[in-house]
Structure 1
Amino acid sequence: MKKATLFAALLFSSVGAFAQNWTLDKAHSNLNFTVTHMMLSEVDGKFTNFDVKMTSAKDDFTDAQIELTADVSSINTNQERRDTHLKSPDFFDATKYPTLAFKSKSVTKVSGNKYKVTGDLTMHGVTKPVTLDAVLKGPVTNPQNKKTLAGFIVTGEVKRGDFTLGSAPAAVVSDEIAIRASGELVKAN
């Protein structure tokens, strides 16, 4: 029995040894969202301070483990008064819940370079499962520094009410929050 346990431990540790770490190139990445105001216009926003870490051993990223964190205080809608309101207890309550996070559970290839990424999203102290669409660009080798890069465009929608994020009626601020993230990841050597 001890031999089987030792063999399993060696097998799993050697598989993990082949996993590659990827880090976010923040200069070439965005974490954006859109809500509808008064059922008339779309209001775009973003988080300016966020990070993504990914580990994957497979070339097609179907075994990827992805973790995203964002500083809620970095929310920016190009309207200082609105940003202050969004950080308040009326919405994100950035003092009490300073971070939003996503941790993947699975990455499934749909076709070609299209994927479904399923995981847990935590906002405003509430964690819910979400499934997002992702498009892979690359990987490519940067001709200047010879590093391997991969790009992902991630889109999806979450419901504000699922995360108790603000009590404004849906006619004022839509319950649907569209997410669009674009990230460039660099493979660690």
Structure 2
Amino acid sequence: MRLPLALIALAATAPLLAQSAPQVPGQMDATRVVAGSYTADPAHSLIAWEVNHFGFSDYIGLFGDVAGTLTIDPADLSAASVDVTIPVGKVTTASAGLTDHLLRAGKDGAKPDFFGPDPSDARFVSTSVSASGNSAKIDGNLTLNGITKPVTLDAEFTGAGNNPYNKKLTLGFSATTTIERSDFGIDTAIPLVSDVVELEIHVAFEKN
């Protein structure tokens, strides 16, 4: 049986196409991690939060422009430290009305329902790191709404490599945790809007 010319041509060019295909610069390869200090890339670092609304559905919002630092030595991961600041005042949701509600002042001098019009930044500062493979438990203190509580992050190393645009060595991490907002004095509409808040964190750090 004779193969169509198009298939013959495709088979002949396949090796060339494979060689020219762009490679993703970040790889989950711990040997690429270089000891030192890193700074968060705010344009590519986000924290998603999720609450349940009235028992009907889950609602998701975002904090962007995350700032912070990471100090890491692959030879001693237990000595790693992270300090991240989250600008609560830049909270984003899919609803302009809801975003306004999160940031509006309290009525008639009362405290705001949620964050208020000029909320302080939130901050997470690690106190210990326990790593195993590409995963880690990061214990630390979260300050939100002026209240500090201990929080544990379940973190994953997602990749390392040189950013092709600015040529900086970049490390990527994701993490999850769950908090109860009432612990931080944000108790409006509980239990209609869940007290439990799930956080999903994605941060890229660039080497200094």
- TM-score normalised over the length of structure 2: 0.74
Contact 1:52 1:68 in 2 (8 A): yes
Shift in Å at residue 72 of structure 1? 1.4
Partner of 2:156: 135
Shift in Å at residue 162 of structure 1? 0.8
Seen in structure 2, the aligned counterparts of structure 1 residues 33 and 134 have a Cα distance that, compared at 3 Å, is same
Partner of 1:6: none
Backbone CA RMSD of aligned residues: 2.0
1:69 paired with 2:85, answer yes
Pick one of 127, 130, 135 that aligns with 1:105: 127
1:122 paired with 2:143, answer yes
Secondary structure in 1 aligned to 2:78? coil
Partner of 1:48: 64
State the aligned residue count: 168
1:91 paired with 2:107, answer no
Pick one of 170, 174, 177 that aligns with 2:197: 177
Matches within 5 A, 1:23-62: 23-59=39-75, 61-62=77-78
* 4+ residue segments displaced more than 6 Å: none
Q: Percent identity?
A: 36
Secondary structure in 1 aligned to 2:189? coil
Letter in 2 for 1:34: E
User: How many angstroms apart in 1 are the aligned matches of 2:100 and 2:46?
Assistant: 21
| Unmatched 5+ stretches in structure 1 | 1-17
Partner of 1:13: none
Cα deviations across residues 132-170 of structure 1 (Å, max 9, x unaligned)?
100012333345654322110110100011111132121
Contact 1:52 1:66 in 2 (8 A): yes
Partner of 1:15: none
Secondary structure in 2 aligned to 1:173? coil
Larger radius of gyration: 2
User: How many angstroms apart in 2 are the aligned matches of 1:67 and 1:184?
Assistant: 13
Partner of 1:5: none
| Unmatched 5+ stretches in structure 2 | 1-33, 105-111
User: How many angstroms apart in 2 are the aligned matches of 1:181 and 1:63?
Assistant: 21
User: How many angstroms apart in 2 are the aligned matches of 1:148 and 1:59?
Assistant: 18
Contact 1:93 1:124 in 2 (8 A): no
Seen in structure 2, the aligned counterparts of structure 1 residues 34 and 167 have a Cα distance that, compared at 3 Å, is same
Matches within 5 A, 1:156-175: 156-170=177-191, 172-175=192-195
Partner of 2:174: 153
